[in-house]
Amino acid sequence: MTFKADPIPSRTLFNFNSVVAALFLVSTPLVAKNSIEPGDEALRHHLQLLVDEGVINTLSTTWPLSDKEIASSIASLNEDELTAEQSQSLNALQQRLLNTASASTVIQYGNRRQELRGFADDFREQGEIRFKSSEQVGLFTFHLQASAVDNPLDDKEVRLDGSYIAVDLKNWQFGAGAVDRWWGPGWQGSLILSNNARPSPGIFLNRNTTKAFNLPVLRMLGPWSFSSFANQLESDRHIPEAKLLGARFTFKPIDSLEVGLTRTAQWGGDGRPETWDSLKDLILGNDNVGDGGIELDGSNEPGNQLGGIDLRWTTRFADQSVTFYGQLIGEDEAGGFPSRKIGLFGVETPVNTDWSNGRIFLEASDTTMDFLDDRFANSAYNHSIYQSGYRYRGNAIGASTDNDSRLLTLGGMHEIGPLNSLTWKAQYASLNRDGSPGRNTVASSHEQTGIVSAKFERKLNEQVCLGVNATHILNDVTPDSRISKSSIQVSLTIQN
């Protein structure tokens, strides 16, 4: 039975366009300060190399990262005490922290948008011109990112994605904006929150540094971080203007292990309860129909939740550091723990030669609920009430493969001298494995294919970088699939 409640006016969390316009009218050029958004594979590699080598003790699986945390972590390092590889990573981080304070312009165009996006993949649309700049005024940070898009998937040609205003209060940052996030240790995917979909606007609260507790028992958690947000989803969906809520707590009980605990939820929206009692039930996990006063018809079901755990553990084989990582995300709850899980597992290691330095990884993911025995098709990222699913403007908020899909990725990132870099992937994808139409945004029927891709970037000078990205599908796919046989994109980045 479909429940129809009296419409409840849904209030936008804030007028985003007005905030961005106002903040740049009042800002004045000062020293810029910025969070580091997901996407820079080289920065991530250098940070994780110093972490895995035990040179610094910070966290690296919750993006955006705080540049304040990275700067404080490397401030006391003595380059004379580091190996050549560690010194190279330290210098790279120092240079990238300087670049986060710069304005930049990105121009990119290709014959197709990129579908199976990973941590560093851009090209959400076929073509885009993007400008961004940051300013700091006292305790306030203002970040403007404006873009014009060609042939957008959602018909929104002008965007302020990536823009935000934030204020630092002691060790906390509170702000409002549309911020890209990547929560988890994966390089190709995050099952719960990735940069696959456009960022939705909202408010957020982040801890700036990862300093450990001083209390005796809590001190055992080691360095820790906390991030949370409350966002507004679009009006053009089955439940218009539903809210997207999220919180993540990460900690390092030992130097070699980082643990992440994450929950997200769709809540409220037109025709759905948005009371404090409903929010309390959502937070406490009292949201299964038939339990704890939740009606069988779903009339007072508070929302659609996902939650789970991820781990990143580093060990050494001979002189080589090797990291194993995994993520388990449940779409339901049983006994206070996530159930009906989807999973991601991987291994990574740095690779340094006389002519290059970088990292390779092998990662496998499955977005079929209870993936070990395939018991629940058409369930992950879908919901009986929030029928537009765990998606925003046509893309999954979690894994780019959307639901009921398996993806195996062997990939690498290599800096070749001071001017060149190469990123590559070889993938096997089994998309929409049960073939149900309309339940997977990437493939309308079961698709199995191999995919090879590579991106080459060259710095033309200190300010200008040229990139070429190419992808080729090894097997034919159906004409109505969103993935194409071959694609090529070109990008030009100018640091002002």
- What is the C-alpha to C-alpha distance for residues 88 and 90, in angstroms, rounded to an integer? 5
Q: Looking at residues 99-120, what average pLDDT do you find?
A: 87
Per-residue pLDDT of 363-412, as tens digits, reads 999 999 887 776 778 889 998 889 999 999 989 999 999 999 999 999 99
pLDDT tier, 474 (very low <50, low <70, confident <90, very high otherwise)? confident
What's the domain count of the chain? 1
Cβ–Cβ < 8 Å for 189, 407? yes
- Structure token pair of residue 406: 């398996």
Q: Looking at residues 184-202, what average pLDDT do you find?
A: 97
Which of 1, 496, 43 has the alpha carbon at shortest distance from 296?
A: 1
Average pLDDT, the chain: 87
Q: Is 5 a residue whose pLDDT tops 70?
A: no
Contacts of 95 (CB under 8 A, 6+ apart): none
Lowest mean pLDDT among 300-304, 404-408, 476-480: 476-480
Helices (H), 100-200: none
pLDDT tier, 21 (very low <50, low <70, confident <90, very high otherwise)? very low
CA separation, residue 356 to residues 80, 184, 421 (Å): 22, 27, 9
pLDDT tier, 456 (very low <50, low <70, confident <90, very high otherwise)? very high
Q: What is the CATH number of the domain that holds 398?
A: 2.40.160.130
Cβ–Cβ < 8 Å for 451, 425? yes
Provide long-range contacts, Cβ within 8 A and 24+ apart, for 125-128: 125/149, 125/150, 125/151, 125/152, 125/153, 126/150, 126/151, 127/151
Cβ–Cβ < 8 Å for 407, 442? no
pLDDT tier, 482 (very low <50, low <70, confident <90, very high otherwise)? confident
pTM here is 0.89
Which of 182, 144, 189 has the alpha carbon at shortest distance from 163?
A: 144
Q: Is 335 a residue whose pLDDT tops 60?
A: no
Q: What confidence score (pLDDT) does residue 273 get?
A: 87
354 domain residue, yes or no: yes
Residue span of the structural domain in which 330 resides: 16-495
Contacts of 415 (CB under 8 A, 6+ apart): 42, 356, 357, 358, 421
Q: What confidence score (pLDDT) does residue 245 get?
A: 97
Lowest mean pLDDT among 14-23, 325-334, 415-424: 14-23
Per-residue pLDDT of 417-426, as tens digits, reads 989 999 999 9
- What is the C-alpha to C-alpha distance for residues 194 and 199, in angstroms, rounded to an integer? 9
Quickly count: other Cβ atoms within 10 Å of residue 377's Cβ.
18
Residue 201 identity:
P
pLDDT tier, 294 (very low <50, low <70, confident <90, very high otherwise)? low
pLDDT tier, 343 (very low <50, low <70, confident <90, very high otherwise)? very high
Q: What SS3 state is found at 377?
A: coil
Q: What confidence score (pLDDT) does residue 19 get?
A: 37
Q: What confidence score (pLDDT) does residue 469 get?
A: 95
Q: What confidence score (pLDDT) does residue 336 get?
A: 56
- Percentage above 90 pLDDT, the chain: 61
4 domain residue, yes or no: no
Q: Higher pLDDT residue, 408 or 134?
A: 408
2 domain residue, yes or no: no
Q: What SS3 state is found at 276?
A: helix
Lowest mean pLDDT among 43-52, 191-200, 428-437: 428-437
Cβ–Cβ < 8 Å for 73, 56? yes
Quickly count: other Cβ atoms within 10 Å of residue 34's Cβ.
24
Q: For strand 224-232 and strand 201-207, is the pairing parallel, antiparallel, or unpaired? A: antiparallel
Cβ–Cβ < 8 Å for 264, 245? yes
Lowest mean pLDDT among 116-125, 193-202, 285-294: 285-294
Cβ–Cβ < 8 Å for 267, 289? no
Q: Is 130 a residue whose pLDDT tops 90?
A: yes
Q: What confidence score (pLDDT) does residue 285 get?
A: 73
Phi, psi of 249 (to 5 degrees): -125, 125
**Range 53-92 burial, b when 16+ CB lie within 10 A, else e:** bebbebbbbbbbbbbbbbebbbeebeeeebeeebebbbeb
pLDDT tier, 12 (very low <50, low <70, confident <90, very high otherwise)? very low
- What is the C-alpha to C-alpha distance for residues 342 and 21, in angstroms, rounded to an integer? 41
- Give 1-43 as a DSSP string: ----PPP-PPPPS--HHHHHHHHHHH--------EE-TT-HHH
Residue 373 identity:
D
- What is the C-alpha to C-alpha distance for residues 67 and 72, in angstroms, rounded to an integer? 8
Q: Is 29 a residue whose pLDDT tops 50?
A: no
- Percentage above 70 pLDDT, the chain: 87
pLDDT tier, 225 (very low <50, low <70, confident <90, very high otherwise)? very high
- Structure token pair of residue 340: 């009906």
pLDDT tier, 478 (very low <50, low <70, confident <90, very high otherwise)? low
